Structure 1
Amino acid sequence: MSLQIEIMAAMKTAMKAKDQTALAALRAVKSEILLIQTSGEAGELTEEQEINILSKLVKQRKDSAAIYLEQDRKDLALPEIDQAEVISQFLPEALSEEEIEKVVVMTIDQLGAVGMKDMGKVMGIVNKELAGQADGKTISNIVKAKLS
Protein backbone atom coordinates (compact mmCIF):
# COMPACT_ATOMS: atom_id res chain seq x y z
CA MET A 1 0.00 0.00 0.00
CA SER A 2 1.37 3.40 -0.91
CA LEU A 3 2.11 5.98 1.73
CA GLN A 4 -0.64 8.29 0.45
CA ILE A 5 -3.30 5.62 0.89
CA GLU A 6 -2.03 4.78 4.38
CA ILE A 7 -2.04 8.47 5.35
CA MET A 8 -5.60 8.95 4.09
CA ALA A 9 -6.80 5.91 6.04
CA ALA A 10 -5.06 7.16 9.18
CA MET A 11 -6.57 10.62 8.67
CA LYS A 12 -10.07 9.14 8.52
CA THR A 13 -9.41 7.25 11.75
CA ALA A 14 -8.03 10.39 13.43
CA MET A 15 -11.06 12.40 12.30
CA LYS A 16 -13.47 9.82 13.69
CA ALA A 17 -11.52 9.73 16.97
CA LYS A 18 -11.32 13.55 17.03
CA ASP A 19 -7.55 13.28 17.56
CA GLN A 20 -6.39 16.78 16.59
CA THR A 21 -2.68 16.10 17.17
CA ALA A 22 -2.64 13.06 14.89
CA LEU A 23 -4.75 14.87 12.34
CA ALA A 24 -2.36 17.85 12.24
CA ALA A 25 0.64 15.53 11.79
CA LEU A 26 -1.05 13.51 9.05
CA ARG A 27 -2.16 16.65 7.22
CA ALA A 28 1.45 17.87 7.27
CA VAL A 29 2.59 14.61 5.68
CA LYS A 30 -0.14 14.77 3.04
CA SER A 31 0.72 18.40 2.32
CA GLU A 32 4.42 17.60 1.88
CA ILE A 33 3.63 14.71 -0.47
CA LEU A 34 1.33 16.88 -2.57
CA LEU A 35 3.93 19.66 -2.69
CA ILE A 36 6.55 17.32 -4.08
CA GLN A 37 4.17 15.68 -6.55
CA THR A 38 2.92 19.01 -7.94
CA SER A 39 6.37 20.57 -8.10
CA GLY A 40 7.13 18.49 -11.16
CA GLU A 41 10.12 16.79 -9.54
CA ALA A 42 8.43 13.41 -9.33
CA GLY A 43 5.19 11.92 -10.52
CA GLU A 44 4.84 8.84 -8.33
CA LEU A 45 7.01 8.88 -5.23
CA THR A 46 9.46 6.05 -4.66
CA GLU A 47 9.66 4.35 -1.29
CA GLU A 48 13.00 6.07 -0.66
CA GLN A 49 11.46 9.50 -1.31
CA GLU A 50 8.56 8.68 1.00
CA ILE A 51 10.98 7.69 3.77
CA ASN A 52 12.97 10.89 3.23
CA ILE A 53 9.80 12.98 3.53
CA LEU A 54 8.75 11.26 6.74
CA SER A 55 12.24 11.46 8.23
CA LYS A 56 12.43 15.17 7.44
CA LEU A 57 9.07 15.86 9.08
CA VAL A 58 9.96 13.86 12.20
CA LYS A 59 13.30 15.67 12.47
CA GLN A 60 11.60 19.07 12.13
CA ARG A 61 9.23 18.27 14.96
CA LYS A 62 11.95 16.91 17.22
CA ASP A 63 14.10 19.97 16.59
CA SER A 64 11.17 22.27 17.36
CA ALA A 65 10.41 20.36 20.54
CA ALA A 66 14.04 20.63 21.64
CA ILE A 67 13.99 24.40 21.11
CA TYR A 68 10.72 24.73 23.03
CA LEU A 69 12.11 22.65 25.90
CA GLU A 70 15.27 24.81 26.03
CA GLN A 71 12.99 27.81 26.43
CA ASP A 72 10.98 25.98 29.12
CA ARG A 73 7.83 25.85 26.96
CA LYS A 74 6.54 22.33 27.60
CA ASP A 75 3.08 23.41 26.44
CA LEU A 76 4.47 23.90 22.93
CA ALA A 77 6.94 21.00 23.00
CA LEU A 78 4.46 18.23 23.85
CA PRO A 79 2.32 18.59 20.70
CA GLU A 80 5.49 18.54 18.58
CA ILE A 81 6.69 15.36 20.28
CA ASP A 82 3.27 13.76 19.85
CA GLN A 83 3.19 14.67 16.16
CA ALA A 84 6.68 13.21 15.68
CA GLU A 85 5.46 9.94 17.19
CA VAL A 86 2.44 9.85 14.87
CA ILE A 87 4.61 10.39 11.79
CA SER A 88 7.20 7.87 13.01
CA GLN A 89 4.58 5.12 12.80
CA PHE A 90 4.92 5.21 9.02
CA LEU A 91 8.73 4.89 9.06
CA PRO A 92 10.52 1.53 9.02
CA GLU A 93 11.42 0.24 12.46
CA ALA A 94 14.47 2.01 13.91
CA LEU A 95 17.66 0.02 14.35
CA SER A 96 19.57 -0.29 17.61
CA GLU A 97 23.04 1.19 17.95
CA GLU A 98 24.57 -2.31 17.79
CA GLU A 99 22.83 -3.00 14.47
CA ILE A 100 23.95 0.36 13.10
CA GLU A 101 27.49 -0.36 14.26
CA LYS A 102 27.50 -3.68 12.38
CA VAL A 103 26.51 -1.94 9.14
CA VAL A 104 29.14 0.78 9.70
CA VAL A 105 31.91 -1.79 10.37
CA MET A 106 30.88 -3.82 7.31
CA THR A 107 30.91 -0.70 5.13
CA ILE A 108 34.31 0.39 6.45
CA ASP A 109 35.70 -3.08 5.66
CA GLN A 110 34.20 -3.06 2.15
CA LEU A 111 35.64 0.36 1.35
CA GLY A 112 38.95 -0.22 3.10
CA ALA A 113 38.47 3.08 4.93
CA VAL A 114 41.30 3.87 7.33
CA GLY A 115 40.86 7.38 8.67
CA MET A 116 38.67 10.43 9.00
CA LYS A 117 39.43 11.36 5.39
CA ASP A 118 37.15 8.48 4.33
CA MET A 119 34.26 9.54 6.57
CA GLY A 120 32.27 11.11 3.72
CA LYS A 121 32.39 7.94 1.64
CA VAL A 122 31.32 5.76 4.57
CA MET A 123 28.55 8.17 5.63
CA GLY A 124 27.14 8.33 2.10
CA ILE A 125 26.81 4.57 1.78
CA VAL A 126 25.56 3.96 5.33
CA ASN A 127 22.99 6.78 5.14
CA LYS A 128 21.63 5.37 1.89
CA GLU A 129 21.50 1.84 3.27
CA LEU A 130 19.84 2.82 6.57
CA ALA A 131 17.48 5.48 5.22
CA GLY A 132 14.66 6.01 7.69
CA GLN A 133 15.97 3.34 10.05
CA ALA A 134 18.61 5.39 11.81
CA ASP A 135 19.23 9.00 12.76
CA GLY A 136 22.04 10.70 10.83
CA LYS A 137 23.58 12.02 14.03
CA THR A 138 23.81 8.52 15.52
CA ILE A 139 25.36 7.17 12.34
CA SER A 140 27.86 10.04 12.27
CA ASN A 141 28.92 9.44 15.87
CA ILE A 142 29.46 5.72 15.25
CA VAL A 143 31.41 6.34 12.04
CA LYS A 144 33.64 8.91 13.81
CA ALA A 145 34.31 6.47 16.65
CA LYS A 146 35.24 3.66 14.25
CA LEU A 147 37.45 5.78 12.00
CA SER A 148 39.32 7.56 14.82
Structure 2
Amino acid sequence: MSLLERLNNDMKQAMKSKEKEKLAVIRMVKASLQNEAIKLQVSELSADDELTVLSREVKQRKDSLHEFIKAGRDDLVDKLKAEIVILEEYLPKQLTEEELSEIVKQTILEVNASSKADMGKVMSAIMPKVKGKADGGLVNRLVQQHLS
Protein backbone atom coordinates (compact mmCIF):
# COMPACT_ATOMS: atom_id res chain seq x y z
CA MET A 1 0.00 0.00 0.00
CA SER A 2 1.40 3.37 -0.98
CA LEU A 3 1.78 6.20 1.50
CA LEU A 4 -1.05 8.15 -0.12
CA GLU A 5 -3.42 5.17 0.15
CA ARG A 6 -2.44 4.73 3.80
CA LEU A 7 -3.03 8.41 4.47
CA ASN A 8 -6.46 8.28 2.78
CA ASN A 9 -7.49 5.21 4.80
CA ASP A 10 -6.24 6.76 8.04
CA MET A 11 -7.97 10.02 7.19
CA LYS A 12 -11.30 8.23 6.76
CA GLN A 13 -10.74 6.41 10.04
CA ALA A 14 -9.84 9.65 11.84
CA MET A 15 -13.03 11.26 10.50
CA LYS A 16 -15.15 8.35 11.72
CA SER A 17 -13.56 8.32 15.16
CA LYS A 18 -13.58 12.15 15.35
CA GLU A 19 -9.82 12.44 15.95
CA LYS A 20 -9.47 16.09 14.97
CA GLU A 21 -5.73 16.38 15.65
CA LYS A 22 -4.81 13.28 13.65
CA LEU A 23 -7.10 14.38 10.83
CA ALA A 24 -5.45 17.81 10.69
CA VAL A 25 -1.95 16.29 10.57
CA ILE A 26 -2.91 13.82 7.83
CA ARG A 27 -4.47 16.58 5.73
CA MET A 28 -1.35 18.69 6.17
CA VAL A 29 0.91 15.81 5.07
CA LYS A 30 -1.29 15.13 2.04
CA ALA A 31 -1.07 18.82 1.10
CA SER A 32 2.72 18.74 1.48
CA LEU A 33 2.90 15.66 -0.74
CA GLN A 34 0.71 17.30 -3.39
CA ASN A 35 2.78 20.50 -3.25
CA GLU A 36 5.97 18.48 -3.71
CA ALA A 37 4.45 16.67 -6.72
CA ILE A 38 3.51 20.01 -8.25
CA LYS A 39 6.98 21.40 -7.55
CA LEU A 40 8.63 18.38 -9.18
CA GLN A 41 6.06 18.45 -12.02
CA VAL A 42 5.08 14.80 -11.62
CA SER A 43 1.66 13.21 -11.22
CA GLU A 44 2.81 10.80 -8.52
CA LEU A 45 5.76 10.99 -6.13
CA SER A 46 8.23 8.14 -5.80
CA ALA A 47 8.53 6.40 -2.44
CA ASP A 48 11.85 8.17 -1.97
CA ASP A 49 10.25 11.59 -2.56
CA GLU A 50 7.42 10.75 -0.16
CA LEU A 51 9.98 9.81 2.47
CA THR A 52 11.80 13.09 1.91
CA VAL A 53 8.60 15.09 2.45
CA LEU A 54 7.71 13.14 5.60
CA SER A 55 11.21 13.54 7.01
CA ARG A 56 11.08 17.28 6.29
CA GLU A 57 7.75 17.62 8.10
CA VAL A 58 9.07 15.78 11.18
CA LYS A 59 12.27 17.84 11.19
CA GLN A 60 10.33 21.11 10.96
CA ARG A 61 8.24 20.10 13.96
CA LYS A 62 11.26 19.03 15.99
CA ASP A 63 12.96 22.34 15.26
CA SER A 64 9.83 24.24 16.27
CA LEU A 65 9.53 22.08 19.37
CA HIS A 66 12.97 23.20 20.58
CA GLU A 67 12.06 26.84 19.97
CA PHE A 68 8.74 26.53 21.83
CA ILE A 69 10.45 24.80 24.77
CA LYS A 70 12.95 27.69 24.97
CA ALA A 71 10.09 30.20 24.84
CA GLY A 72 8.11 28.35 27.54
CA ARG A 73 5.12 27.74 25.27
CA ASP A 74 3.93 24.50 26.89
CA ASP A 75 0.58 24.62 25.10
CA LEU A 76 2.31 24.45 21.72
CA VAL A 77 4.92 21.95 22.93
CA ASP A 78 2.25 19.35 23.71
CA LYS A 79 0.53 19.91 20.37
CA LEU A 80 3.79 19.50 18.43
CA LYS A 81 4.76 16.37 20.34
CA ALA A 82 1.43 14.81 19.41
CA GLU A 83 1.92 15.79 15.75
CA ILE A 84 5.41 14.26 15.72
CA VAL A 85 4.06 10.98 17.11
CA ILE A 86 1.41 10.88 14.36
CA LEU A 87 3.95 11.66 11.61
CA GLU A 88 6.42 9.06 12.86
CA GLU A 89 3.80 6.35 12.29
CA TYR A 90 4.36 6.84 8.55
CA LEU A 91 8.17 6.83 8.65
CA PRO A 92 10.18 3.60 8.42
CA LYS A 93 11.38 2.07 11.69
CA GLN A 94 14.16 4.27 13.08
CA LEU A 95 17.63 2.82 13.51
CA THR A 96 19.02 2.53 17.03
CA GLU A 97 22.19 4.40 17.88
CA GLU A 98 24.11 1.09 17.93
CA GLU A 99 22.88 0.11 14.45
CA LEU A 100 23.68 3.57 13.17
CA SER A 101 27.13 3.47 14.72
CA GLU A 102 27.83 0.20 12.91
CA ILE A 103 26.75 1.71 9.57
CA VAL A 104 29.02 4.72 10.25
CA LYS A 105 32.01 2.44 10.95
CA GLN A 106 31.40 0.42 7.78
CA THR A 107 31.02 3.53 5.65
CA ILE A 108 34.21 5.08 7.04
CA LEU A 109 36.05 1.92 5.98
CA GLU A 110 34.36 1.91 2.55
CA VAL A 111 35.41 5.46 1.71
CA ASN A 112 38.83 5.15 3.41
CA ALA A 113 38.19 8.16 5.64
CA SER A 114 40.85 8.94 8.22
CA SER A 115 40.26 12.45 9.52
CA LYS A 116 37.60 15.09 9.99
CA ALA A 117 38.61 16.46 6.60
CA ASP A 118 36.82 13.41 5.11
CA MET A 119 33.58 14.25 6.93
CA GLY A 120 31.73 15.38 3.78
CA LYS A 121 32.73 12.27 1.88
CA VAL A 122 31.48 10.03 4.72
CA MET A 123 28.22 11.95 5.20
CA SER A 124 27.40 11.88 1.48
CA ALA A 125 27.94 8.10 1.47
CA ILE A 126 25.91 7.44 4.64
CA MET A 127 22.83 9.63 4.17
CA PRO A 128 21.33 7.69 1.24
CA LYS A 129 21.70 4.48 3.28
CA VAL A 130 19.85 5.82 6.33
CA LYS A 131 17.38 8.20 4.64
CA GLY A 132 14.24 8.43 6.74
CA LYS A 133 15.59 5.91 9.23
CA ALA A 134 17.83 8.23 11.25
CA ASP A 135 18.13 11.86 12.27
CA GLY A 136 20.82 13.71 10.32
CA GLY A 137 22.09 15.42 13.47
CA LEU A 138 22.69 12.07 15.15
CA VAL A 139 24.45 10.74 12.05
CA ASN A 140 26.66 13.84 11.99
CA ARG A 141 27.56 13.44 15.68
CA LEU A 142 28.43 9.76 15.27
CA VAL A 143 30.58 10.43 12.19
CA GLN A 144 32.48 13.12 14.12
CA GLN A 145 33.03 10.73 17.03
CA HIS A 146 34.36 7.98 14.81
CA LEU A 147 36.62 10.29 12.79
CA SER A 148 38.26 11.94 15.80
CA contact (8 A) 2:11 2:26 kept: yes
What's the secondary structure of 1:39's corresponding residue? Answer: helix
* 2-structure distance, mates of 1:141, 1:128: 17
| 1:3-22 superposed matches below 5 A | 3-22=3-22
CA RMSD of aligned residues (A): 1.0
Partner of 2:33: 33
Corresponding residue for residue 82 of structure 2? 82
Residues 44-63 of structure 1: pairs in structure 2 closer than 5 A? 44-63=44-63
User: Given the two structures, how large is their TM-score scaled by the length of structure 2?
Assistant: 0.96
Change (3 A) 1:135 1:37: same
Q: Which residue of the partner structure matches residue 113 of structure 1?
A: 113
What is the aligned residue count?
148
Counterpart of 2:29 in structure 1: which amino acid? V
Correspondence 1:95-114 to 2 at 5 A: 95-114=95-114
Displacement of 1:42:
3.0
Mapped to 2, the partners of 1:135 and 1:41 lie a distance apart of 28
Aligned to 1:58, the other structure's residue is in SS state helix
Whether the 8 Å contact between 1:25 and 1:84 is mirrored in structure 2 is no
Q: Is the 8 A contact 2:36 2:53 kept in 1?
A: no
Name whichever of 86-95 and 18-27 sits farther off: 18-27
Moved more, 99-108 or 15-24: 15-24
- For residue 44 of structure 1, report the CA deviation from its aligned partner: 2.1
Distance in 2 between residues matched to 1:41 and 1:114, nearest whole Å: 41
Equivalent residue of 2:77, what SS? helix
Paired amino acid for 2:110: Q
* Secondary structure at 1:146 match in 2: helix
| 1:91-133 deviations in Å (ceiling 9; x for gaps) | 0000110000000000000111011111111111111100010
TM-score for both structures, normalised by structure 1: 0.96
Q: How far apart, CA to CA, are the structure 1 residues paired with 2:92 and 2:78?
A: 23
CA contact (8 A) 2:29 2:54 kept: yes
Q: Give the drift of 1:16.
A: 1.1
- Unmatched 5+ residue regions in structure 2? none
State the distance in 2 between where 1:40 and 1:146 align. 37
Q: d(CA) in 2 for partners of 1:6 and 1:115?
A: 44
- Cα distance, 1:40 vs. partner? 4.1
